Structure 1
Amino acid sequence: MKRPCLLLTPGLVSYTQGWDWPKQIQQRKIQDSQHPDVLFLVEHPPVYTLGQGSDPEFVKFAPGTFELHRTERGGEVTYHGPGQLVGYPVLDLRAYRQDLHWYLRQLEEVLIRTLSHLDITGERVAGLTGVWVKGYKVAAIGIKVSRWVTLHGFALNVTTDLRAFEVIVPCGLTQPVGRVEQFCPGVSPADLIPLIATSFAEVFGVDLQLVPLAQVIALPVPQ
């Protein structure tokens, strides 16, 4: 029997709200290993985030110019905004594999398979984390794990305004940033949600069940 995993797609939500929900679920899963795994797929209004220990030299705008948050994830500065699908899997890796390198590669595989549904060839770059298409980085990945329960995840540029990346050095890299729309004109984030869901279920071997947000957030915290 496949392990159940709940899928939540609340749409466009603020970064702080979108971050708080997975954090709530992580804390519940740490307290109760029977709490279901969850995958959030969301979009955010424009916001920049810094990874733990990231280099501020990669931020090229003046303080206060744009919304900026330092987070617990690994990696350097990145951008989130409309047209980008952000995935926050909250998984108990003790039920999968207690190996962070493996987990990062699995997230890349989810995105590579997602792109393949659009006849787009996604690629890895040796020594780096993320997914590239024809030399353009279309997906960034940054994670944080506590007691083997995951936080943060991936960001896939679908129709993202790429000018937003001009005021940072994305992930500390000099390679160009791209978006899925370059290689599949007319595609939308809504088109990608079921493709990501299918690929995620395949890669992690889970039974992904779409549920309302209130059903998950309203779950009681174990005492």
Structure 2
Amino acid sequence: MSLYSSCATPDPAPASAVAPAAGAAGHNRQIIVRKLGLADYEATWALQEELLAATLAVKVRNRQAADEGRLPEATPNYLLLCQHPHVYTLGKSGKPEHLLLDAEGLARHSATFHRINRGGDITYHGPGQLVGYPILDLDNFFTDIHRYLRLLEEAVIRTLADYGLAAGRIAGLTGVWLDFEEGAPNPRKICALGVKCSRWVTMHGFAFNINSDLTYFGHIVPCGITDKAVTSLQQELGHAVPVAEVEQRLLPHLADLFAADFIVE
């Protein structure tokens, strides 16, 4: 099992990292999309674990089939899309002191707190934020976790371009940023990423601030970064944007970049 950080990556993204994935004969490139609406964090985490375990079980059976000369089963791919009630999550490498609220403060803000099994530090999820959890068997696409992160970022970058916003990456910091160019006066993160990968099957994912209440970020040190701001699509455009509309714009970009077919349940 490998954990990958939601906050930092050791290498800047090469130009080729945002190229669409090439097709692979015999691999399942269909991704089942489940739109969960406003979903409890723990229940959604449990669903991810369930889908991950089922996919890993298929991979175990496929190894046995190969040993016995039988054809393998296709492994499934999923994308869960949802919003969460107010919640703070701390990754494996995070620092508890980056949560600036005690138990009483969490209760006052109707928020919960969970330590989870992704990489990275602390982040916030809440209403108005589009959260995506891809449970993908990267053996169906490509076995490169850095490329995987870059393609998730690229899908968000292209979606923001649809709204007339120029976004990009900051070297050494995973995620999508505005004013990302070196020397820009006000770099601010609009999408955070944090993933776990087990035998090339992913879980956790991205959190894209659409109409988020940004005051909730004031109660943490987001991803342990003290010198950069957080923003939302609403903040940048000056008006609210339906989360469902952003979903509709994002999915075609993901489909193009992963050379995948999406099936919405």
TM-score > 0.5 by shorter chain: yes
Determine if the alignment matches structure 1 residue 205 to structure 2 residue 259: yes
Task: Write the letter of the residue equivalent to 2:263.
Answer: Q
Q: Check whether the contact 2:75–2:137 (CA below 8 A) recurs between aligned residues.
A: no
Q: Check whether the contact 1:51–1:76 (CA below 8 A) recurs between aligned residues.
A: yes
Equivalent residue number for residue 157 of structure 1: 209
Q: Check whether the contact 1:84–1:157 (CA below 8 A) recurs between aligned residues.
A: yes
Identical positions, percent: 41
2:103 is paired with a residue whose SS is coil
Aligned equivalents of 1:53, 1:131: Cα separation in 2 = 21
Aligned equivalents of 2:113, 2:235: Cα separation in 1 = 27
1:10 is paired with a residue whose SS is strand
The alignment's C-alpha RMSD in Å is: 1.4
Higher mean C-alpha deviation, range 98-107 or range 152-161: 98-107
Query: What are the ranges of 5 or more consecutive residues in structure 1 without an aligned counterpart?
Result: 212-223
Task: Write the letter of the residue equivalent to 1:122.
Answer: A
Equivalent residue number for residue 5 of structure 1: 31
Task: Write the letter of the residue equivalent to 1:196.
Answer: L
Equivalent residue number for residue 3 of structure 2: none
> What is the TM-score when the length of structure 2 is the normalising length?
0.77
What's the offset of the Cα at 1:64?
A: 5.2
Q: Check whether the contact 1:28–1:35 (CA below 8 A) recurs between aligned residues.
A: no
Aligned equivalents of 1:136, 1:36: Cα separation in 2 = 35
What's the offset of the Cα at 1:80?
A: 0.3
2:79 is paired with a residue whose SS is strand
Higher mean C-alpha deviation, range 19-28 or range 29-38: 29-38
What is the aligned counterpart of 2:48 among 9, 22, 29? 22
What is the aligned counterpart of 1:170 among 211, 216, 222? 222
Q: How does 1:67-86 map to 2 (within 5 A)?
A: 67-86=112-131
Query: What are the ranges of 5 or more consecutive residues in structure 2 without an aligned counterpart?
Result: 1-22, 60-73, 107-111, 180-186
2:49 is paired with a residue whose SS is helix
What's the offset of the Cα at 1:199?
A: 1.2
Rg bigger for which structure? Answer: 2
What's the offset of the Cα at 1:43?
A: 0.2
> What is the TM-score when the length of structure 1 is the normalising length?
0.91
Equivalent residue number for residue 94 of structure 2: 54
1:98 is paired with a residue whose SS is coil
Q: How many residues align?
A: 211
Q: Check whether the contact 2:83–2:127 (CA below 8 A) recurs between aligned residues.
A: yes
Equivalent residue number for residue 182 of structure 1: 235
